[in-house]
């Protein structure tokens, strides 16, 4: 199937799900779907910078936060409609990502990880202390998104919109995967010196990877404002980053299918655990850590990696 | 498809249609024999100590009522969930309880910030939300129709009670305040400042510290430098201990230290952690329950808890889960057999419950959504707790 | 209290906490120098050391001296096991040196969640706890300044540990083997050094230091399963030192402790939270190799 056909098929399926499921399932499951779709956008973005180009950039959640506050505040303070606001907020995230990327990509793994992590914490601190803008620790109550005159007030209404956005994101990702830039990402990850020798502008590639992943995170933030009505700086923290990271690792870094599997497995897991006796709930944190540990030891290419190997063998 | 099949399908669809119309007309969570209540609190994660015992306490109250025949011929059935004290999880739990378990009302939440995340949703879905033991400031001011809370008092109540106690009872004039830079801290500080100013005192220091602070030297030095007659603290358990330790280290123990409830959920553990009896010689804290002064009340609560949860030894914070359950039961009893969510809200608004467990009446009104405004002050020297004379009531205005 | 005394007190207190940050930073750098792994579980190893100490104290009621000797053994074993069963396995499957590094770091993140999770399961840990201090004597007063005997103990023990590490790395055969492995793994294995065992021993050593730091920190800092978050301060200290210099860690830690208190006094306690991150970004921007790294700056950064 050609690339274009793939993209169209995915788009149609997602839109269909977005329109049909709300009529069939209780609102709670629609909420879960919306959450998973948002996580998928975040996870793809993280995969681009970490899995595709091998850079350990922890600033992802800061850009997510910029996407959320940016979209919400543009709408609430300046009346900018979502259709313009979200791309703007995502571009702002990408711009800041670019500014961070230029000095940061000079640094090697540990320093890159720490400096981007430090940036994420500084961003969280700004969200918390710039009260006149973000209402700080009180949290920001967001007004419902207005899409061409239609107000989106609940999960069922948000789902088709999120589905369309996800479809666009996936389409763009597929294009990126098959482009020269995408191939450059992988080349830089595998061996920087070889890539340099074969004419790849390593520095620019790395910067692009981080900038693009920041854009994805910003989009995910915009999606948040579609189906959530409240944001508190404490929600944008390391725990979320570790969750997205786990989704990428467990599912399979470097491929859309892998990341999707990871999002579904780790996104559905809490629901499965809900059925467990309440006394066992306290084990959740340990179980998540254990899953990540087992995944990285025994299946570093994730669940999708296992599939591909099996397919390759037969 | 032949005629018979078509007819059968048609009848089936008609049935489904009629059935769905009928069931939507019926109140969710209410059947002839039972009322379904969604009960939730943090049962895992860093704030589990604020949720586990209080949730069990609410559960024990419901079980007690069921054992006595229920409410107007119906028994309470609980669906229990873990909200992890985060906005995302609490909202998810609320959505599940409402749209999948079809509960009548929501009863839960120990963390105000998490509850605030679900507020817009329950407003939209018109589902009554009764907080478990959260202070609730951000979610009850301004009051909204479906959200009821603050059954052990808001941060405004604690801040103003300690301020009033400091000025009137301890004759303090210069008061230093140390709180966290979050929603609790803001509310606590605002109320304290308003009361202090109103009563002719002076706020000589305002230290705002992050909740995860590890070295409290600098803020305490600042407090000391302001030469206060009393120190008010809204700190959480770990920083509260650090504060008391440093205050002891720097020889400030002649200055009364007044701590809001959230910093000392289990006073004996607090004392052990501080480890310095000298630092506790001028320590006071707020409390909303009579179980310190009244031994029989404490015994009764403990016995009920043990009966319902034989495997767990509760801390004193357990009782904070009781008043909200009492309020729900009182409201349901007053309503009788005809239960709808709107009627529940109207009846809850008329709540005026005097329980021998609480330091004041639990009251709501058309414009009020914080239940308790009266608390006591307790002196704790590390071994014994002594309830101070006079209860302290927030006037409903300070800090708003 | 005059401004000068305020500052002096802040400095004294900063030196004490700085020593603990330095210890944790040492544990991070030991492992990084030898295996190139950023140990995001460093803070949790500190936390586990503290809780093991507390549990030993409460269940077995052993005297403090024994606890100080036994706990590091437990954490040593933990580090050893992690290196052998997690890191070695990942190493064997590697496809490229870059991706295996990413996997190592993810493994440490997983370890940190596992350690935190397992401690949280114990109901005892719901409440904030504290290890009783080694020395509970009256505070020492120097004019307006206060020095707790506990603080002196912290500085002394930390200094002893740093001294021992310095002696180990510089003057013992084992230390030479460790240094050889960290400088050039292939060459080390060629001359007969059992590289895998050495790496595991390094992880064990790092965990030991972290465990001791936990025992020192717990009386001062209070114990919750989340106390590992202080690892960021250790990272900041290590970065100031250049992440490859042991003495750099010490200076970095003490400096950071002092700076934190100064920020608290002169700016605001709210700013304290962001100070380590600010320091990390600042140092990496202006002098990525740290202020103490004399050797091969370009290679490591």
pLDDT digits (tens, 9 = 90+) for A245-301: 999 989 988 888 899 999 999 988 888 877 777 777 788 889 889 999 998 888 878
Same domain, A42 and A183: yes
Same domain, B93 and B211: no
Does residue A248 contact residue B11 with C-beta atoms inside 8 Å?
no
Where does C124-172 have alpha helices with state H? 149-171
Query: Partners for A (CB, 8 Å, 3+ pairs)?
Result: B, C
- Cα–Cα distance for residue pair A212/A104, rounded to 1 Å: 15
User: Average pLDDT over chain A, rounded to whole?
Assistant: 87
- Cα–Cα distance for residue pair B369/A191, rounded to 1 Å: 62
Which of C12, C113, C128 is the best residue to mutate to test the B interface, defined by the most B CB atoms within 10 Å of its own CB?
A: C128
Taken in order B182, B183, B185, B189, the sign of the CA dihedral is positive
Cα torsion A102, A104, A109, A111 to 10°: value is 160
pLDDT of residue A235: 81
Query: Residue C299: pLDDT band by 50, 70, 90 thresholds?
Result: very low
The domain total for chain C is 1
Q: How many CB atoms lie within 10 A of CB A10?
A: 16
pLDDT tens per residue across span B263-293: 999 999 999 889 889 999 999 999 999 999 9
Query: Residue C296: pLDDT band by 50, 70, 90 thresholds?
Result: very low
Same domain, B219 and B109: no
Same domain, A78 and A94: yes
- Name the least confident of A85-94, A284-293, B295-304, B321-330: A284-293
pLDDT of residue C96: 58
Same domain, A210 and A272: no
Residue A242, pLDDT > 80, answer yes
Same domain, A162 and A245: no
- Cα–Cα distance for residue pair B133/B150, rounded to 1 Å: 7
pLDDT tens per residue across span B14-53: 555 455 544 445 789 999 999 999 999 998 888 888 999 9
Residue A225, pLDDT > 60, answer yes
Domain range for B196: 155-287+377-393
- Cα–Cα distance for residue pair B376/B371, rounded to 1 Å: 15
CATH number at B127 reads 3.40.50.2300
Average pLDDT over residues B42-71: 93
Which of B330-344, C1-15, C65-79, C221-235 reaches the highest mean pLDDT?
B330-344
Same domain, A21 and A161: yes
The domain total for chain B is 2
Which of C84, C225, C280, C296 is the best residue to mutate to test the A interface, defined by the most A CB atoms within 10 Å of its own CB?
A: C280
Same domain, A266 and A133: no
pLDDT of residue C301: 34
- Cα–Cα distance for residue pair A52/A185, rounded to 1 Å: 6
Residue B12, pLDDT > 80, answer no
Residue B325, pLDDT > 80, answer yes
Same domain, A53 and A150: yes
For the record, the structure tokens of A34 come out as: 């919306």
Same domain, B257 and B163: yes
Domain range for C168: 3-300
Residue C108, pLDDT > 80, answer yes
Residue C280, pLDDT > 80, answer yes
pLDDT of residue A284: 83
Nearest to B391 by CA among B358, B344, B354, B345: B358
For the record, the structure tokens of C173 come out as: 């055969």
pLDDT of residue C38: 86
Taken in order A212, A215, A219, A221, the sign of the CA dihedral is positive
pLDDT of residue A314: 45
pLDDT tens per residue across span B92-105: 999 999 999 999 99
pLDDT of residue C97: 59
Query: Partners for C (CB, 8 Å, 3+ pairs)?
Result: A, B
Helix H or strand E encompassing B180: strand B174-180
Same domain, B235 and B272: yes
Domain range for A198: 3-233
C-alpha neighbours within 13 Å on the C-beta side of residue A199: 3
Helix H or strand E encompassing A231: strand A230-231
Residue C95, pLDDT > 70, answer no
Beta pairing partners, A186: none
Query: Residue B127: pLDDT band by 50, 70, 90 thresholds?
Result: very high
**Does any domain span residue B141?**
yes
Same domain, B249 and B225: yes
**Does any domain span residue B14?**
no
* pLDDT above 70 coverage of chain A, percent: 98
Does residue A172 contact residue A7 with C-beta atoms inside 8 Å?
no
Average pLDDT over residues B139-168: 95
Q: Which residue has the tokens 């200290």?
A: C237
User: Average pLDDT over chain C, rounded to whole?
Assistant: 83
Same domain, B92 and B39: yes
Residue A7, pLDDT > 90, answer no
For the record, the structure tokens of C294 come out as: 């004399």
User: Average pLDDT over chain B, rounded to whole?
Assistant: 91
Same domain, A225 and A251: no
Residue of higher predicted confidence among C200 and B8: C200
Query: Partners for B (CB, 8 Å, 3+ pairs)?
Result: A, C
Of the partner residues A31, A129, A285, the one whose CB lies closest to the CB of residue B95: A31
Taken in order C291, C292, C295, C296, the sign of the CA dihedral is negative
The domain total for chain A is 2
Beta pairing partners, B179: B208
Same domain, A105 and A188: yes
Residue B203, pLDDT > 60, answer yes
Q: In chain B, which residues touch A (CB < 8 A)?
A: 43-45, 48, 80-82, 86-88, 91-92, 95-96, 98-100, 113, 116-121, 124, 138, 181-183, 186
Distance of CA C41 to the CA centre of its chain: 10
- Cα–Cα distance for residue pair A122/B224, rounded to 1 Å: 30
CATH number at C205 reads 1.10.3470
Nearest to B134 by CA among B110, B107, B106, B158: B110
Answer whether C129 touches B (CB < 8 Å): yes
Q: In chain A, which residues touch B (CB < 8 A)?
A: 26-29, 31-32, 35, 128-129, 136-139, 141, 153-155, 228-230, 232, 234-235, 274, 278, 281-282, 284-285
| Domain termination residue (choose one: A207, A233, A259) | A233
pLDDT of residue B6: 61
- Name the least confident of A191-195, B118-122, B222-226, C31-35: A191-195
- Cα–Cα distance for residue pair B107/B133, rounded to 1 Å: 10
């Amino acid at each position: 199937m050609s690339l274009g056909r793939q993209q169209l098929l995915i788009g149609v399926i997602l839109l269909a799900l977005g329109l049909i499921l709300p009529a069939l399932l209780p609102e709670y499951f629609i909420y879960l779907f919306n959450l998973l779709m948002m996580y998928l956008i975040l996870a793809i973005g993280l995969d681009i910078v970490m899995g595709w180009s091998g850079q350990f950039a922890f600033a992802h959640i800061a850009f997510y936060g910029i996407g959320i506050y940016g979209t919400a505040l543009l709408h609430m303070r300046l009346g900018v409609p979502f259709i313009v606001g979200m791309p703007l907020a995502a571009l702002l995230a990408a711009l800041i990502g670019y500014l961070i990327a230029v000095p940061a990509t000079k640094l090697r793994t540990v320093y890159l990880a720490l400096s981007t992590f430090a940036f994420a914490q500084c961003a969280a601190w700004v969200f918390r202390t710039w009260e006149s803008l973000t209402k700080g620790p009180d949290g920001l109550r967001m007004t419902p998104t207005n899409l061409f005159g239609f107000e989106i007030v609940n999960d069922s209404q948000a789902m088709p919109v999120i589905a369309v956005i996800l479809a666009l994101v996936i389409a763009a990702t597929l294009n990126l995967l098959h482009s020269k830039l995408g191939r450059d990402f992988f080349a830089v990850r595998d061996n920087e010196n070889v890539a340099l020798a074969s004419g790849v502008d390593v520095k620019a590639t790395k910067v692009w990877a981080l900038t693009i992943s920041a854009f994805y995170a910003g989009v995910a933030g915009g999606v948040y404002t579609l189906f959530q009505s409240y944001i508190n700086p404490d929600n944008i923290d390391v725990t979320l980053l570790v969750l997205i990271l786990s989704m990428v690792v467990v599912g399979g870094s470097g491929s859309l299918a892998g990341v999707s599997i990871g999002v579904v497995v780790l996104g559905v897991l809490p629901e499965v655990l809900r059925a467990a006796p309440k006394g066992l709930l306290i084990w959740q944190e340990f179980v998540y850590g254990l899953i990540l540990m087992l995944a990285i030891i025994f299946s570093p290419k994730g669940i999708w990696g296992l599939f591909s190997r099996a397919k390759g063998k037969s | 498809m032949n005629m018979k099949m078509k007819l059968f399908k048609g009848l089936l669809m008609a049935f489904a249609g009629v059935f769905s119309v009928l069931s939507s007309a019926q109140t969710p969570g209410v059947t002839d024999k039972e009322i379904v209540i969604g009960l939730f609190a943090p049962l895992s994660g860093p704030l589990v100590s604020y949720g586990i015992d209080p949730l069990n306490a609410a559960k024990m109250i419901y079980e007690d009522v069921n054992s006595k025949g229920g409410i107007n011929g119906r028994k309470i059935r609980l669906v229990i969930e873990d909200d992890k004290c985060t906005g995302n999880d609490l909202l998810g739990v609320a959505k599940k309880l409402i749209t999948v378990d079809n509960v009548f009302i929501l009863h839960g939440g120990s963390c105000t910030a998490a509850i605030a995340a679900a507020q817009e949703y329950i407003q939209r879905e018109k589902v009554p939300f009764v907080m478990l033991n959260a202070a609730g400031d951000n979610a009850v001011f301004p009051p909204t129709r479906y959200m009821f809370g603050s059954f052990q008092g808001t941060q405004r109540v604690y801040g103003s009670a300690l301020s009033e106690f400091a000025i009137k009872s301890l004759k303090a004039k210069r008061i230093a305040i140390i709180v966290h830079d979050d929603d609790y801290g803001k509310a606590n500080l605002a109320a304290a400042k308003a009361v202090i100013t109103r009563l002719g005192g002076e706020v000589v220091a305002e230290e705002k510290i992050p909740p995860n602070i590890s070295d409290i030297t600098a803020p305490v030095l600042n407090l000391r430098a302001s030469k206060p007659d009393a120190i008010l603290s809204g700190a959480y358990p770990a920083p509260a201990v650090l504060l008391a330790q440093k205050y002891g280290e720097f020889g400030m123990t002649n200055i009364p230290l007044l701590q809001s409830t959230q910093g000392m959920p289990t006073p004996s553990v607090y004392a052990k952690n501080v480890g310095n009896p000298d630092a506790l010689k001028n320590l006071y804290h707020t409390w909303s329950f009579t179980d310190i002064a009244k031994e029989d009340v404490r015994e009764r609560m403990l016995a009920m808890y043990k009966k319902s949860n034989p495997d767990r030894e509760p801390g004193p914070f357990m009782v904070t889960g009781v008043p909200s359950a009492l309020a729900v039961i009182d409201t349901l009893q007053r309503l009788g057999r005809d239960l709808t969510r709107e009627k529940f809200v109207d009846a809850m608004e008329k709540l005026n419950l005097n329980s021998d467990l609480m330091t004041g009446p639990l009251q709501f009104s058309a414009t009020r959504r914080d239940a308790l405004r009266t608390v006591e002050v307790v002196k704790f020297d590390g071994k014994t707790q002594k309830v101070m004379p006079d209860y302290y009531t927030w006037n409903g205005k300070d800090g708003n | 209290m005059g401004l000068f005394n305020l500052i002096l007190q802040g400095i004294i207190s900063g030196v004490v906490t700085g020593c603990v940050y330095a210890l944790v930073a040492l544990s991070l750098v030991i492992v990084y120098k030898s295996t190139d792994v950023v140990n995001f579980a460093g803070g949790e190893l500190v936390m586990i050391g503290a809780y093991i100490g507390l549990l030993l104290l409460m269940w077995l009621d052993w005297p403090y001296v024994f606890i100080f000797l036994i706990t590091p053994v437990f954490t040593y074993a933990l580090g050893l096991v992690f290196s052998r069963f997690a890191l070695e396995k990942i190493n064997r499957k590697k496809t490229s040196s870059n991706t295996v590094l990413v996997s190592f770091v993810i493994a440490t993140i997983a370890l940190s969640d596992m350690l935190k999770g397992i401690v949280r399961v114990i109901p005892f840990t719901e409440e904030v706890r504290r290890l009783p201090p080694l020395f509970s004597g009256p505070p020492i007063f120097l004019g307006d300044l206060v020095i707790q005997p506990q603080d002196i103990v912290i500085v002394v023990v930390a200094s002893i540990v740093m001294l021992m590490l310095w002696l180990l790395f510089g003057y013992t055969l084992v230390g030479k083997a460790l240094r050889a492995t960290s400088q050039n793994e292939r060459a080390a294995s060629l001359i007969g050094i059992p590289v895998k065992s050495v790496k595991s021993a390094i992880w064990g050593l790092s965990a030991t230091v972290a465990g001791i730091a936990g025992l020192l920190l717990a009386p001062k800092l209070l114990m919750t399963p989340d106390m590992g978050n202080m690892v960021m301060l250790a990272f900041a200290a290590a970065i100031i030192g250049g992440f490859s210099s042991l003495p750099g860690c010490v200076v970095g830690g003490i400096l950071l402790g002092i700076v934190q208190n100064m920020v608290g006094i002169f700016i605001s306690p709210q700013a304290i939270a962001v100070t380590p991150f600010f320091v990390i970004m600042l140092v990496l921007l202006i002098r990525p190799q740290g202020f103490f790294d004399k050797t091969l700056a370009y290679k490591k950064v």
